[in-house]
Amino acid sequence: MNSFTDSQRLWFYRVLSLLVTALLVHVAAVWAAPRAIMYVLIHGPTAQKMNMRNQAAFPEAVTARSRTVVMPSPDMLYSVCAFDLRDGPVRVQAAPALTNYWSIALYAANSDNFFVRNDRQSQGRPVDLWLVAPSPDKPQKPVPPGSEVVVSPSSTGFLLMRVLTTDYQTEKAVLEPARRTLQCSQV
């Protein structure tokens, strides 16, 4: 026996489809949020203004006026590069030669940190990375001697170099040349 009227059945399906829509939008928004944020970071107005596509850029020391990325560390001097591997590998080189903490971290287009190299791991040797796309469309160039191949999970991403600073004004003369050894270039 069917006790539901056509109208009740119609409303049941309407409510069900609304709930499914809300759920799908919710999951899609949560999935898209990190990708959208990274897209703006890599391609947005700040990235364009700083001209950081496959090129190292050196933002000012962090202060209360630093409002590009949430929770900036006031104890780190940041250097950045938005890498794009669609036209070929990107070579990352740095030789900060500092005794305090520094690191170079690579982030995928979904915000995952997929690679990090710090001063202790580099043991005083320069960093030389040959960053390649997960499945390159074009034939790959030969890896330069001494370069370490790093496969990025995505064809675009973000490089963040951190250099510890506890008093930037006092340490500026040492830290600025050290961080500016960072090179990020499409060969």
Partner 1 sequence: MSTKGHWSARARRVATGAALYLGAVAVGLGSAWWVLKKASWLNPSVEVGAWRANMHAGSQDAGLYTRATIAVNALLALGRDETMYFVATRDDAGQTLRAQCNYRITGVPPQARWWSITAYAQDLFLFDAPNGHYSLNGTTAVLDAAGRFSLSTGPVEQTGTFWLPTPGTGALILTLRLYNPAPSLQAAPQSLVAPAVQQLGSCT
Chain residues binding partner 1 by CB under 8 A are: 14, 18-19, 21-31, 33-34, 37-38, 41, 62-64, 66-67, 69-75, 101, 103, 105, 107-108, 110-114, 116, 118, 120, 153, 158, 160, 164, 166
What's the closest the beta carbon of residue 69 comes to partner 1, in angstroms?
5
What's the closest the beta carbon of residue 146 comes to partner 1, in angstroms?
24
Nearer to partner 1 by Cβ, of 64 and 173: the residue is 64
Nearer to partner 1 by Cβ, of 85 and 88: the residue is 85
What's the closest the beta carbon of residue 54 comes to partner 1, in angstroms?
19
What's the closest the beta carbon of residue 21 comes to partner 1, in angstroms?
4
Please report the DSSP string for 166-180 in residue order. Answer: S-HHHHHHHHHHHHT
Burial label, 127 (beta-carbon count in 10 A; 0-12, 13-18, 19+):
buried
Of 63, 64, 12, nearest to 3 by C-alpha is 12
Which residues are paired to 78 by β-bridges?
A: 162
Burial label, 102 (beta-carbon count in 10 A; 0-12, 13-18, 19+):
buried
Nearer to partner 1 by Cβ, of 2 and 13: the residue is 13
Nearer to partner 1 by Cβ, of 4 and 31: the residue is 31
Nearer to partner 1 by Cβ, of 78 and 88: the residue is 78
Is the distance from CB of 146 to CB of 65 less than 8 angstroms? no
Alpha-carbon distance 119 to 127, whole Å? 9
Distances (CA, A) of 69 to 46, 61, 65, 163, 184: 11, 13, 11, 17, 21
What's the closest the beta carbon of residue 90 comes to partner 1, in angstroms?
18
